[in-house]
Each structure stands twice: as C-alpha cells, then as structure tokens.
Structure 1
Amino acid sequence: MKQINTYLHKKILVLGLAKSGVTAAALLHKLGAFVTVNDKKPLSENPEAQGLLEQGIKVICGEHPVELLDEGFELIVKNPGIPYQNPIIEGALEKGIPVLTEVELAYQISEAPFIGITGTNGKTTTTTLIFEMLNQGKKRPLIAGNIGTVASGVAEEATAENNIVIELSSFQLMGIEAFRPKIAIITNLYDAHLDYHGIRAEYIKAKANITKNQTAEDYFIYNADQQEVREIAEHSQASGIPFSTKLALKEGAYISEGWICFNDEKVMLVDEIALPGVHNLENILSAMAAAKLTGVSNEAIQEVLRTFTGVKHRLQYVTEIAERKFYNDSKATNILATIPALQAFKSPIILLAGGLDRGNEFDELIPYLKNVKALITFGQTSSKIERVGIEAGIKQINTVDNVEKAVPVAFQYSEPGDVILLSPACASWDQYKSFEVRGDIFIEAVHKLK
C-alpha cells in the first residue's frame, strides 16, 4: 500500500456502512484522518459500527442528521447505494464538499494497476473471466468491487506485482475523482437503475466515468456494436480496443470464420468454448482482450474458456440428470437479464420464472418464448407470467408455491435432451432474502432429484 498523507488530520465523514463503509472508515483512520461514521441503523443493532467505535472512531447511528454538515468536514465518503438526493449529500455539494466512494480511496493507495469493468449486463462474468485468465497466466490477479472484497481492502494488500480486477457499478463511478484504470471495459449499455439516476443520460454519464481519467498510455475496451458506447470511446483519451460479435473488425476482439480473434490472430474456435449463450461471446471477447493486453498467452486463455461454465447464479450449469441439463440463472432479476438466457439454448426449455411484483408486465418476453415447451411460475408475479406464457402459445403451464416445488414439477414435464432453466425475470424479495438464496435452493432441489 502507498503511504499517502492526503488525509492526514482531515475531518472526514463516512456516510453509510455495509462492507465498503467499514473498510473505508478503518483505512482513513489508519491514514491519520479524523473520521466520523454515520449510519442509519441504531448502534445497538449495528455490530459494524460498534467495531469502529472500539477502534476509536466517532460513530453516530440511528439517523442521518443534516446538522452533521456544521462540523466542518472536508470530505464525505459515501456508501454507493445512498442516493445523491440524500439531504446530507445535497447539503455537502452545495457547500463544495467533495463526495467520493471508497473506490477512489482504493486507487489512491494502490501499488497495483486496475482493470475496471462496468456495463449493464455481463460485468460479473467478464470480471471473473479476466481474473481466471490472468490467474492461469500467472499474472497474480486480485478480484475486487461488487463481485469480491471491498476495493480499498484489496488495495491495502496489493503490490506492484498484482493486477486488481474490479467490477464497478454506476453508483461507484459517480464518486471518483482521480481513479484511472490501466484497462477499462464497458460491456454494454441498456436502461437500468433509472430510479437512482433519473434519466438514461445520467446513467450513461456515470458509466463513462470509467475512462474519463485515462490517457494514451491506457486501454479502453468497448462494445463496438452499440452506438452510445462507441461515442464514449470517441471522447476517451485512451487507446481504443473495440470488440464485436457482429462486425468484421480489422483490430480488437471479434469473431471470424468460427474463431474468436484478437487483432489479426486466431485465438480459439468458438465451438470449443464451454460457456453457453451468444450474449456470453461479448463477455468472452472483452475478457480475452484484457488478458492479451496484460500479456496472457493464448494457451492460458484457451484453458479457461474450455473449462469455465459460468458464475454462480448467472446461467450456471448445475448438473445433468436423466439427460436433462439444469441451469441456475437466479441472478436474472429482470426481463432484460432473462432474454439472453432464453436465447442461449437450442434445446427445448422448461422455464422456471416469477418473483417480486414491481408493477411491470412481461410482454417483452413473448418473442423469446418460442423454444419454451413448459412454464413453471411462482411468487407474486405468477399470474402475470402465466398470461404471457399463454399468449406465447406454451401448452404446459403450472403454478407452484416456490422454487423448491418448481423443480420436481419441471422434471415431470421434461424429456431427455431438454434444458431446465431457472431464470426468474424478477427480484427474489417476495419469498427469499436474495437471488443467491433462491439459486441455492434451486441447486439443492435439483440434487434431491438424484
């Protein structure tokens, strides 16, 4: 870790805890700052805050009092999930107090270069693929951000011999100042988190921050199939590395004659890749580009792509029973995420879907249900998804209480050669604490069939 004096004797407010807030507060305390932590959860129910209190850090819990701004803070480090409409944040910005996220702290102390990945879909898969490729290529990667350990915690331990591979959300990227990844990636851009950003333009602007500090010595890997991403690349100072599953590129990462290619080099046959789904080719191309730029050999890339079958809960291959293949795509918490899962398979699909009702309908799924031979619904949206299934012409539709009961029913409808796919198109919170819990219950139910 770099020893910096940037925060020595400065009054800093850490707003909101969770993992990132706890790590940021402890780090700033170590760097000599006068830290105050403010979290909405009461102290009696807040073991994280209690731990910081024991370290000698000032803790204020139970509410977010605007009066805190009268204490003369020189900086606020906020939890990414706290909106900018929060009265403390609004007041701080009016006073000209900088508001950062802990990703910025990580960059400032890190001896290791960063490979930053953002986008609407594919971030986790791409981040994991890059980590695995660099690991196979003995490049000593560390993984951080939404997918792994808090970035500033990883940066404390990193040396110049490491590469920090970090998944970045739009929320995190709104709070950077100098953060400059050696390699930046935007996988794709669709409508998302508009309840937070307000309008699409603000969401795109936040994502574009990943490359705003890059120079000609850095690389920006971008999706050449999307106009908005190409426009970001045009304004970037970094060396642009396009990738495309559709265009015949002369440079960058692309597909040609059944091969995935980098610049003019054939790296691997598409048919040899283990990870299913056309949408995953975007993730594979961008990950391959990052690996090649980091000096990873084709042999190491090939080994990963022949064996990597997916991130847990993201189109994860579970097992095969009686010639039926089971896939866990519990992380598909919206329609946009379920569509590529449905496109990933040529075999007939038994689809398990449903969950939290956010007020939307599911008609966008209809064109993609042609390969679905049976539909098992559950949760608050059961009737909505059932209606869509009927309109799509699915003959076998059944509603059950939950995911656990859906699995044996799906098996009954299936035949050898079929795919049984959990891809809910809904959040899990009507029945489960998280999509991870929902996915784990699916996996357990599948193994019970054996």
Structure 2
Amino acid sequence: MVYQEGIFVPLAWNDLRGLSVGVLGVGAEGLETAYRLNKLGIPFQSFTTDSQENLAELLKCQVVITSPGIPKNSAVIRNLVKNNTRVVTGLDLWLHSRDSLENVVLVSGTKGKSTTSALLCELLRAAGKTAFLCGNVGTPPWGREADSLAQEPDFWVVETSSYQAANLTTAAPLVIITSLSADHLTWHGSLQNYYEDKLSICTKYTPCTVIANGDSQELKKYQHLMGSDVRWVSLNDKLASELRPHLNIFGEHNVRNALLAVAALSQLGVKLERQKLYSVLQNFKSLRHRLEVVGSVGAVVFVDDTLSTNCLSTIEGIHAIKGPLALLLGGADRGIDYDSLAKEICDRLEATIVVTMPENGARIAKAITDRLDSANCHIVALFQAVSLSAAVAVSFQYLSGSGGTVLLSPAAPSFGSFRNYKEKSDCFRSCVEELNTANLRV
C-alpha cells in the first residue's frame, strides 16, 4: 500500500532542528517526547488525537512524531504520508540518535516480553552491570527517568510492542522474541499484518541475532521473517531442568522466559556465576498483574493476571494453576477466535469453573459450550456474569468449601467496562478485600 512505502524516514532527534514538528498523541510517551523536544529547544505543536479535525494543522508540519497507539494505517497517517510529511516515532528517533546500538536489546513477543525484559535486567545487575529497563513498560529511553541516570548504563533493555516494532526503520544487534499469537488485530488490520509487524524488528538491523521461543509452532512457521541467525530455546533444553527448581514464579512459560534471558546474557558476553543466577531466579517476583497473588480468603487464593489480554497468555495462566480453578474471562471484543482457549479449558484435568463477563463474555461462553461434550471435560459450571464483582462473588461461592484458585485472566483488553487494566485490577482487589472483611465478621 502506498502509505506504507517510506512512511518512517530515518531521523535522529537533532535532525529535527529547523523543521516544523508535530507531536501526535499526548499520553505517557507523548509527554516524554514533548520533554525531549523542549530540552533540545525544538518548537513543536501537540495534537491529542488523529482525528480529521486536526488534519489541516498536522499537514502544516514537516515531521510528525506519533505515539504507538496511533495506527499506522489510520486515515490521518495515510494523508500525512501522501503529503510527504515525515512520520516518525520517539523510539526510532532514539535509536538513530545513538552512536552505537551494541548495548541495546529489543525484547518483543505477544506475551512474556515484560517478564523476560525485567529478568534480563536483574541478571545483568547480578553480573555487576548497569541495566536500564525501558520501552513499552512505560519508561521511554529518551525521557526524564533516563536523563536522571548518573551515567550511560552498560545495557539498555527495551521492551518493544508490536505497535513500536511496526514503526521502526532500524532495530538492534540482539532481539528476543518470546511468543507469537493473535492480538491487536484491529490496530494491525489482520493476523498476517500483526505477525509481519511484530517480527519486523528481526530484520531491521544487520547483523542481528534473534533469540526465540523454540516451543512456539507459530514462530517456527514464520521463521522466514526472523532473519538468518535465529537461536532457539526450549523447555526440552537441559538448562530448563536446571533452572526450574530455582524459579519462584508460576508457570512453565516463565521457565522459558528465564531461558530466553539467560541466552541473551550469554550472547551479550556477560558471565554470571551459577549461584548468583539461582539467587536471581529465587528472588524474582511476579510483575504486577501477571499471575500475581493478591490475597486469599480461607482456602481460596486470588490471582491477578489482568494483563493476559489474549488466548495464549490466558492458556499459560491456566497451565500454571494446579487444583480447583475458577477462571474469570472477558473484556473488550477484538474479534479474536476463542476456540483454542475453549479447547485448553475443556481439556484441563482438574475441576474448573468458568465465569465470563462483558462485552465478549457471550462469545467466549459459546466457544466453550461448543466443546462441552468432550469426554474428558472437567468444567463443573459455566456462568455469564454481568460484572467483575458478580464474577468474583459466584467464583468464591463455588470454591469456598473445597478451596482453590480464582484466576482473573481475561483473554481480552479491559477498556469498555474499565478505563484500563489497572482499574480492572483495582476492582478485583477491592472485591477480594470485601470478601475478606465479610469473612472476618462470620
């Protein structure tokens, strides 16, 4: 398509001097971009959204720095490109502004990138190196927090979303790909586009080594998009058996995340004594909203996995929980097929209660219902709740006698019923606190 040809022109921050600049999107990243431009003394105009109302003013800009949430195929972006306006991103500007990219690691994947990024930073620090975790985690490497560092870190570990990857014109010598499955289809336009955008960072820097999840059939299928130097890690590796007993967070997928981080450490030429490696794994805590235990009421444990917004991540969460399970599903509907999730739920060999919530709860429930006649299905109840609080209440009611785990792992984004995943998580935690208070009165 015409608007994809040359849409992102390589520019560094200093190249913006003397040009008319617009900043499109004033979220967290947009504010840090404004900070950088102000520090450089570069005048700019801010635009809140990519609405048609802003188009006339945007077309007056020679360069528009867009935030990741603005789809590259939106009508406004297409018009800017047709007008020969250079459309860039803060991350691309930062990468092109660096004298060297040898100490930059880009970490991407449908799920697992945050944990892998954080774990790699901890391993680097245990080896006596300084490491700065940034990118999609909410801290742009060109922002105020990065500027507050006393000196350049030994390594920059940049969590990179598919939105960010799609808009880059360069990348880094080392890329980690944690997983690949359907997500963000509205933004990318199709599953094929999503896969191509996500994996594009593997071939935007030469030479590039890619460390990837060798247990992912999708990644193996799309290996041709990952360059010529791909190094696979797998749960079948001998190292997995060595690391597993030391890891203090839920799930086999986190064993794999640890393998990816250790492989990256080796590729960077950083040595770490085995006992220090084990110590990092033992002390590493679940990141917030990722299989995070938020409380218990009697024998019922409540786990917040709100950031599981697609089938793959929720499936990993299901695999991580042992014993009776109440699974809370549902959120904004992005048109994703839930058959793979339904199959995993129905194939689970322990007692499972499923509670779906708006807005896509009915679609998820139907996908599960279509498989309920499976001979090995252990689903003991399937409910469609009107709200998260109702879902928590019915889950607790079912598990309070026998005990078990209530897992909030929506397989969908939070917006719609909630402003964002944090608000959804806060609601979940409040429900747990209320149950605890009520339980104390009994």
Taking structure 2 as the reference length, the TM-score comes to 0.80
**Comparing both chains, which one has the higher relative contact order based on Cα–Cα distances under 8 Å and sequence gaps of 6 or more?**
2
Q: Following the alignment from structure 1 to structure 2, what is the Cα–Cα distance between the partners of residues 375 and 91?
A: 46
Cα deviations by residue, 1:290-318 (Å, 9 ceiling, x for unpaired)? 23334251333322322334221122223
Q: Alignment partner for residue 91 of structure 1, among 79, 84, 109?
A: 79
Q: Following the alignment from structure 1 to structure 2, what is the Cα–Cα distance between the partners of residues 424 and 81?
A: 21
- Does the CA contact (< 8 Å) of 1:39 and 1:62 recur in 2? no
Secondary structure (helix, strand or coil) at the match of 1:350 reads: strand
Query: How many pairs does the alignment contain?
Result: 406
1:174 and 2:166 correspond: yes
Q: Following the alignment from structure 1 to structure 2, what is the Cα–Cα distance between the partners of residues 121 and 443?
A: 23
Deviation at 1:118, TM superposition (A): 0.9
The letter of the residue matching 1:306 is Q
Deviation at 1:62, TM superposition (A): 9.3
Q: Alignment partner for residue 44 of structure 2, among 30, 35, 52?
A: 35
- Does the CA contact (< 8 Å) of 1:105 and 1:152 recur in 2? no
Alignment of 1:221-260 (within 5 A): 221-225=211-215, 226-233=219-226, 235-236=227-228, 240-246=230-236, 255-256=237-238, 259-260=239-240
Q: Following the alignment from structure 1 to structure 2, what is the Cα–Cα distance between the partners of residues 175 and 360?
A: 23
Pick which of 358-367 and 296-305 moved more: 358-367
Q: Following the alignment from structure 1 to structure 2, what is the Cα–Cα distance between the partners of residues 380 and 208?
A: 30
Q: Following the alignment from structure 1 to structure 2, what is the Cα–Cα distance between the partners of residues 426 and 357?
A: 7
- Does the CA contact (< 8 Å) of 2:247 and 2:255 recur in 1? no
Cα deviations by residue, 1:304-361 (Å, 9 ceiling, x for unpaired)? 3223342211222234544443311112223333222112233221222233455667
Alignment of 1:4-403 (within 5 A): 5-40=14-49, 63-66=53-56, 68-69=58-59, 71=60, 73=62, 75-110=63-98, 113-153=103-143, 154-157=145-148, 159-178=151-170, 180-216=171-207, 219-225=209-215, 226-233=219-226, 235-236=227-228, 240-246=230-236, 255-256=237-238, 259-260=239-240, 268-294=242-268, 295=270, 297=272, 298-357=274-333, 362-369=338-345, 370=348, 371-387=350-366, 392=372, 394-403=379-388
- Does the CA contact (< 8 Å) of 2:186 and 2:334 recur in 1? no
Q: Following the alignment from structure 1 to structure 2, what is the Cα–Cα distance between the partners of residues 29 and 403?
A: 43
Runs of 5+ in structure 2 lacking a partner? 1-11, 437-442
- Does the CA contact (< 8 Å) of 2:111 and 2:178 recur in 1? yes
- RMSD of the TM alignment (CA)? 3.1
Q: Following the alignment from structure 2 to structure 1, what is the Cα–Cα distance between the partners of residues 209 and 335?
A: 41
Secondary structure (helix, strand or coil) at the match of 1:351 reads: strand
Distance 1:62 1:273, change over 3 A: same
Secondary structure (helix, strand or coil) at the match of 1:355 reads: coil
The letter of the residue matching 1:143 is L
Q: Following the alignment from structure 1 to structure 2, what is the Cα–Cα distance between the partners of residues 86 and 4?
A: 24
Distance 1:15 1:24, change over 3 A: same
Runs of 5+ in structure 1 lacking a partner? 42-60, 247-254, 262-267
Pick which of 354-363 and 409-418 moved more: 354-363
Pick which of 112-121 and 374-383 moved more: 374-383
Distance 1:303 1:292, change over 3 A: farther
1:411 — aligned with what?
Answer: 396
Deviation at 1:19, TM superposition (A): 1.9
Deviation at 1:222, TM superposition (A): 2.0
1:431 and 2:417 correspond: yes
Taking structure 1 as the reference length, the TM-score comes to 0.79
Secondary structure (helix, strand or coil) at the match of 1:165 reads: strand
Q: Following the alignment from structure 1 to structure 2, what is the Cα–Cα distance between the partners of residues 144 and 97?
A: 28
Q: Following the alignment from structure 1 to structure 2, what is the Cα–Cα distance between the partners of residues 160 and 129?
A: 20
Distance 1:351 1:84, change over 3 A: closer
Distance 1:389 1:188, change over 3 A: closer
